[in-house]
Amino acid sequence: MNRVVIVGASAGGLATAVALRIEGYAGAITLVGDEADAPYDRPPLSKEFLSEAWEPGRLTLLGADDLETLDLELRLGTPATALSTADREVMLGDGSTVAYDALVVATGARPRVLPDRRDGVHVLRTMADALPLRERLAPGRRLVIVGAGFVGTEVAAIARARGVEVTMLESATAPLAHEIGEAAGLFLAELHRRHGVEVRTDAAVTEVTADGVRLADGTAVESDDVLLAIGSEPNTEWLTAEDLKVHNGLVCDEFCAAAPDVYGVGDVARWYNPLFGTEMRVEHRRHASEQAVAVARNLLEPDDRAPFASVPYFWSDQYDVRVQAYGHLREHDDAVIVYGDVPARRLLVAYRSGDRLTGVLAVGQTPRALRSWRALIAARCTWRAALAIA
């Protein structure tokens, strides 16, 4: 293997390149990215960057000297447009091609949008998205956030801290209901209401209007700005090879392989996690870094590959509390509040799938307090034993 091509120059793609070098790979590495900027971190865009605590330079994942040490061929500002696994070539937007011996797909995801998007209607995925939104968050302005997922709730917290009037509209019964369940979602809804956010649930937005949005029941909600935070779509359109399976992401096996010498990393990869016995696509920063390390090792040791059986972790800062979770929370059969205190802003929820503990979520807890729960999830602890311990 003399040339590895990594398509996607965000956290997952760069982490793969770093892991390859750490593991001793001395061959050529080409890093392809559709943004012209050097690789930068995205999670702070909805937190530190939007609050103006950080400037663009602080988002950079590696300094110029460290990036040079990796000895990469950088093809930034040049998106991939097609792929031929038969010829082992990636076609780029400038008309050129890049040959590979091994390919890592790390193209991430993009925000979903509503029709008739106008000026003052924002999404948040890139630095180019975040800059105009940051400039418009000022005291007395009105912001409507469509969607109460992680991006929506984090931006709501920052906007309130900057004196913005915030209305958060969610089509489900509670914020993050699909990700963390209704009980935890209702807790977060109350947290936001206590900070002055108008939270409306069961509120489906059908149209972006000239001065706000319109709901399915005909109600108009006026605003100066609208943030669309209604989920994401994996960037898979360029994966044109017939031997690749695409379904809500690039479908990969337990080794994160999608085809011979083709691997997936990060938000774009839907891989089979043997620890939970299901396919999952995880859109969190730490997961991308961990998966990148696993893929680098499997690339370099094809005869001794190891399944990527991770316990996914995510965190989200909202106001002065941290939301953290381990495991697979989606598609759970039951969620039990082990401890809950809204005034104290503390919460602990355990999640069951079948007869197993498969997840835990905490608000206002230290990372150390969750480590024992992570160990139980990794050990495939039964639900009954987990509740007895709790």
Q: How confident is the model at residue 291 (pLDDT cuts 50, 70, 90)?
A: very high
The answer to whether the beta carbons of residues 104 and 20 sit under 8 Å apart is: no
Task: Find where tokens 């941290």 sit.
Answer: 322
Q: Is the pLDDT of residue 174 over 90?
A: yes
Q: How confident is the model at residue 344 (pLDDT cuts 50, 70, 90)?
A: confident
- Please give the pLDDT value at position 116: 66
Burial of 148 (0-12, 13-18, 19+ CB in 10 A): buried
Task: Give the pLDDT confidence of 225-276 residue by residue, as tens digits.
Answer: 999 999 999 999 999 998 999 999 999 999 999 999 999 999 999 999 999 9
Task: Give the pLDDT confidence of 28-87 residue by residue, as tens digits.
Answer: 999 999 999 999 999 999 999 999 999 999 999 999 999 999 999 999 999 999 999 999
- pLDDT > 70: what percent of the chain? 99
To the question of pTM greater than 0.85 for the whole model, the response is yes
- Calculate helix-pair angle for 150-161, 182-194, nearest 10 degrees: 10
Q: Domains of the chain (ranges plus CATH)?
A: 3-110+232-304 (3.50.50.60), 113-228 (3.50.50.60), 320-389 (3.30.390.30)
Q: Is the pLDDT of residue 115 over 90?
A: no
Q: Is the pLDDT of residue 348 over 90?
A: yes
Q: How confident is the model at residue 331 (pLDDT cuts 50, 70, 90)?
A: confident
Q: How confident is the model at residue 390 (pLDDT cuts 50, 70, 90)?
A: confident
The answer to whether the beta carbons of residues 291 and 311 sit under 8 Å apart is: no
Q: Which tokens sit at 71?
A: 């000895």
- Please give the pLDDT value at position 191: 93
- Please give the pLDDT value at position 109: 96
Task: Find where tokens 């989200």 sit.
Answer: 316
- Please give the pLDDT value at position 366: 77
Q: Is the pLDDT of residue 320 over 90?
A: no
**Cβ–Cβ contacts within 10 Å for residue 140, how many?**
8
